[in-house]
Chain A
Amino acid sequence: MRRLFPILALAALASVPLWLDDAYLLHILITTGIFTIAAMSLNLLLGYTGQLSLGHVAFFGIGAYVSALTALGFDVDIGPWTIVHEPWPVLAGFVLAVAIAGLCGYLIGKLSFKVRGAYFVIVTISFAEVVRLVALNWVDLTQGPLALNNIPPFTLQFPGLGEYVLWGKVANYYLVLIVAVVAYVIIKRLVGSRIGRAMVALKENESLAVSVGINVTRYLVLAAVVSAALAGAAGSLYAHYVKIVDPEIFLFIYTVTMVIMVVTGGKGTLAGPVVGGLIFGILPVVLRSYLGPEFQWIFYGLFMIFIVFVLPQGIVPAFERRFARPGPEPPAEAVGARQ
């Protein structure tokens, strides 16, 4: 049953465009999917290594800007030089977005994991603020508050067969779903491997982990790189789907949304960010018709406090415990292998 559940969930998600004929609802599901990918990437850091990245939206936004600029082309003056970049295919933008976001994750990780904890939180949050200021002030490159407009949609090239432009909502839905599944599998493989066990060991008992020869900084930086790269991929999808990117994308509240998704769903579980992502992707749509945006954020804040007090592990672990209660407690090893 448990092994079947992800496949059933995937089949249900894949069938959505077949019976859902509402363009607006499909749009909500696409953006929800994009933010769920970002939440999954955050979970890799927050849930599996215990490091809270409060500037996660920076990697997402960098992905969006890199991808959009690669596809649009730009020319900027840096001192005496002028850099002219001709538009490239969107796919190249996606790859570069992943690479550059990952590189930023590497630098931030290298910088702050020497001391970690509160330092990592503060470095990431300040990093996001600086990237926002650059996006706002470097008008030559980013158009500043005027935003990057007319970003081309995702395009798939088939050698010899021409190309396929993803204009419609259904095509974009499947694109996001595929990337989400790939991200899910990457994270699943990573946390199920030696590396993942080392990460969990670090979170649970660092001095013991170090004493058996686990290189703390190396694993944390690796987690930061993968996490930032996945967030960059989500950002790229976002840019080519909504076709406009402005510095607002770096707002702190989006990071908070990702954190709430992970914490509510259950940090350190594979399904947690997906469950949390679906709840907090769809909930605002329901709330929006009744409440102004400020009330929505106040509700988010209160909900976050509520979850930490009442259900500190999140929904998925609580559900699993209830699910497992009738049978005998499985041995610890088996639980580890299943996750």
Chain B
Amino acid sequence: MSQFLQHLVNTVILGGTYALLGIGLTLIFGIMRVVNFTHGELYAFGAYAVFALAMLLGINFFLALLLAILGGVVIGAAIELVLLRPMRGADIDTTMLVMIGAWIVMQNTEMLAWGGVAKAVVTPFPEVPLVIGPVSVSYLRIFVLAMALSLIAATYIMINKTKLGKAMRATFQDRDTAALMGVNINGIHTATFAIGSGLAAAAGALLGPVFLAVPTMGDLAALKSFAIVILGGLGSITGAAIGGFILAFAEELGAGYLSSGYRDAIGFLIIILVLMFKPTGLFSRAERVG
């Protein structure tokens, strides 16, 4: 039982960052109809940016975190402007090929820049974990969860309460009508991709110090984001948030009670089950199927 409680705590902490990854990806797919293969690389970028800023340049950890997220936003906007804007109106497969190309370029650039050796980030949080009864959790992980939840809340408020969010939702529902009503579609696309990329970078920047930064971390992150997004329904933000926690829960239990070697295969099993029984995802309306 105490072991189960520990798994539950780990689930919540991992789930928060998974939810960030999923929300970023589903936002981009829902609004832009782009399967974003660079998502995992922005996650890796976040982790490496924190490492470079905090460990190599000696910048304050929290400032490094903020700068890493902003860096993700800037890179996302650049990808949209350079690669995706000229492809507007192209079919989804063609943009997918471009995004795969961008993915390979980014991953191997990271490999060249950082080498194959894993990098660790030292944080200002105490090493000794907080112990509550049978459960122990490090202060860093609590901070990671708090940050992830605040970012999810901020994204939610941004989409539902601000003017930009309203324009994004309008574009999501009907791009042409939104454009006729005076929504700047180009601007919305750039903003969406930048925000989605920023969320991925945030997830990486938060999890990088918990685990280690390795060049291939982006691949798994990308696959897991896909699983989360299919689970929640492509384009559904609430679905992605809940999907993130479900995937974390399944992984944590699978690794704890079955086999840790297959931990990363669990996302795929979830995709299979969802496609077999509810192909549109758990939380999506019928019109959202891509």
Q: Which residues of A are interface residues toward B (Cβ below 8 A)?
A: 46, 50, 52, 54, 111-112, 114-115, 117-119, 121-123, 125-127, 129-130, 133-134, 136-137, 252-253, 256, 259, 263, 292, 294-295, 297-298, 300-305, 308-309, 312
Contacts and interface: CB of A to CB of B under 8 A. Distances in A.
B97 A308 contact: yes
Given A137-B261, A304-B104, A115 B111 contact: no
A114 B111 CA distance: 38
A294 B86 CA distance: 27
Interface residues of B, number: 44
Interface of B: 29, 35, 83, 86-87, 92-94, 96-98, 100-105, 107-109, 111-112, 219, 223, 226-227, 230, 234, 259, 261-262, 264-265, 267-269, 271-272, 275-276, 279-280, 289-290
A114 B215 CA distance: 35
A266 B92 CA distance: 18
B52 to A, nearest CB: 18
A284 to B, nearest CB: 14
Chain B interface, DSSP helix/strand/loop, else mixed? helix
Contacts of B272: 111, 123
Given A130-B265, A294-B108, A112 B275 contact: yes
A121 B91 CA distance: 14
Contact of B100 (A126, A129, A259, A294): A259
A130 B94 CA distance: 26
Given A118-B290, A122-B271, A133-B261, A50 B93 contact: yes
Given A263-B97, A298-B105, A118 B35 contact: yes
Contact of B105 (A54, A253, A302): A302
Given A111-B276, A298-B105, A123 B271 contact: yes
A50 B96 CA distance: 12
Contact of A137 (B105, B259, B280): B259
Nearest to B99: A305
B264 A133 contact: yes
Contacts of B92: 117-118
B96 A121 contact: yes
Contacts of A253: 104
B103 A301 contact: yes
B223 A126 contact: yes
B178 to A, nearest CB: 22
A253 B215 CA distance: 14
A300 B290 contact: no
B101 A308 contact: yes
Contacts of B101: 300-305, 308
Contacts of A295: 108, 112
Q: Shortest 3 CB-CB distances between A and B: which pairs? A: A301-B104, A304-B101, A301-B105
A274 B223 CA distance: 30
Contact of A126 (B87, B262, B268, B276): B268
Contacts of B103: 301
Contacts of A54: 100
Contacts of A46: 93
Nearest to A54: B100
B35 A298 contact: no
A126 B226 contact: yes
A79 to B, nearest CB: 14
Contacts of A122: 35, 226-227, 230, 271
Nearest to A51: B93
Given A263-B97, A298-B108, A301-B103, A125 B265 contact: no
B102 A301 contact: yes
Given A137-B262, A308-B94, A297 B108 contact: yes
B58 to A, nearest CB: 28
27 contacts: A50-B93, A111-B272, A111-B276, A115-B275, A117-B92, A118-B92, A122-B35, A122-B226, A125-B223, A126-B223, A126-B226, A126-B268, A126-B271, A133-B262, A134-B262, A136-B261, A137-B262, A256-B100, A259-B100, A292-B112, A297-B108, A301-B108, A302-B105, A304-B100, A304-B104, A305-B105, A309-B98
